[in-house]
Amino acid sequence: MVRVTLESMNDTIDLTDNRALRDVLGRFGTGVCVVTGRDDDGNTVGMTCQSFMGVSLDPPLVLISVMKTSRTLPHLKTSSGFAVSVLGEGDEAISAMAGSKAPDKFDHVPLCPTEGGHRVIDGAPAWFVCGLEAWVEAGDHELLIGRVVEAGPAVSDRRPLMFHDSRYASLLDESVLPVAADLSGLLTATGADTWF
Ligand SMILES: Cc1cc2nc3c(=O)[nH]c(=O)nc-3n(C[C@H](O)[C@H](O)[C@H](O)COP(=O)(O)O)c2cc1C
């Protein structure tokens, strides 16, 4: 059992200290994605993005959070929409390249076309092609909600690349986690109240 003492609850940070806030937020582990779109000349542009989540199954909606300073952001809000590729274990170099400001970064990232003509990361364990459904300004970021029009692959045995505490991380073998058995009923249920 975890006991939270009054002392630890009083151990708070200064919310104007960006570094401290990032450290606390960074304790929420996530996967890592690369978001891609097209510029006016049809070239692939994009960025690394850990702020991704599934929002709705019906209709199929996902969400990304993008810094307003991102050069990619305006290209994600055009009629051609955007794609989200989930990175797999071993894709740290792709994450670093897409997360850089290198002008030619997608010359160094392996891409492949989807049936609909978007370009996603070759071998990604999961990818989603989206039309822009809505966006919301949120402080120094914009939240983009995408309606998924194409997704795949149907099957993948690649483990996801994880990000935690400002570092890349990897999943333990899921079979050793005792909670897996408890969740199996929920994850295979198909009722209206099914969570992902
Ligand atoms: C692991 C990782 C996760 C990131 N997650 C996000 C994110 O969720 N949202 C965001 O706006 N930027 C995120 N970034 C930063 C952008 O990828 C980075 O600022 C990039 O240079 C933006 O490129 P652009 O200006 O060409 O769009 C992340 C970077 C890394 C390496």
Q: CB 168: neighbour CB atoms within 10 A?
A: 17
Distances (CA, A) of 106 to 110, 136, 169: 8, 27, 24
Residue nearest to atom 15 of ligand 1 (CA): 99
- List, as one string, the DSSP characters of 136-181: EEETTEEEEEEEEEEEE-S---PPBEEEETTEEEEPPPGGG-THHH
Residue 189 Cα to ligand 1 middle (Å): 35
Q: Ligand 1 centre and the CA of 181: distance in Å? A: 35
Q: Cα(56) to centroid of ligand 1, in Å?
A: 24
* Structure-block tokens of residue 115: 């049936």
Nearest atom (ligand 1) to Cα of 65: 9
Give me ligand 1 centre to Cα 7, in Å.
Answer: 35
Which residue has 């290198």 as its token pair?
102
Looking at residue 9, what is its pLDDT?
A: 74
Give the pLDDT confidence score for residue 192 in this predicted structure.
65
Q: What pLDDT is stored for residue 146 in this prediction?
A: 98
Tell me how far apart the alpha carbons of residues 196 and 190 are, in angstroms, rounded to a whole number: 10
SS3 of 41, please? coil
Which residue has tokens 């999943």?
171
| DSSP for 4-20, written as a single string | --HHHHT----TT-HHH
Which pLDDT score is estimated for 116? Answer: 86
Closest CA to 112 of 125, 103, 121, 102: 121
- Report the chain (196 residues): mean pLDDT per 10 consecutive residues: 66 95 96 96 96 98 98 96 98 97 94 93 98 98 98 97 96 67 56 63
* Nearest ligand 1 atom, CA 98: 17
CA 189 to CA 196: how far, in whole Å? Answer: 10
Q: Which of 105, 103, 112 is nearest to 85 (CA)?
A: 112
The secondary structure element, H or E, covering residue 129 is: strand 126-138
Closest ligand 1 atom to residue 66 Cα is 11
Q: Which domains does the chain have, with CATH numbers?
A: 28-188 (2.30.110.10)
The amino acid at 131: G
- pLDDT value for 158: 96
